[in-house]
Amino acid sequence: MSDLEKYIAKRKIKSARFAKNYEADYEAFEFSVMLRHAREQAGVTQEAVAKQLRTKKSAISRIENHAEDIRLSTLEKYAKALGKKIRLEIIS
């Protein structure tokens, strides 16, 4: 276990609020990384995605850095700008 993992484990024990927020925030972080990676793999710039979505590059940056609050319709447009589609799955 790394020092970071040890620190996180200790914080989770000390603070139920931290533990609860950590899990949700980490999932949003992973999603953000996935979006950015998909865009980079497609060879598309943030500027190009912004043009497709009729918005600014800063809005695309916010989507890629704070994806926990993205609307499904925006996500579908984002994927379309990359030449991709969205597939949702409900898991337990």
pLDDT value of residue 67:
67
DSSP three-state, residue 2: coil
Q: What is the pLDDT of residues 27-39, one digit of tens each?
A: 888 888 899 999 9
pLDDT value of residue 47:
97
What does pTM read for this prediction?
Answer: 0.73
More confident residue, 27 or 49: 49
* pLDDT score of 77 more than 80: yes
Q: Report the distance separating Cα 36 and Cα 63, nearest Å.
A: 9
* pLDDT score of 53 more than 90: yes
pLDDT value of residue 79:
95
Domains in the chain with CATH codes = 3-81 (1.10.260.40)
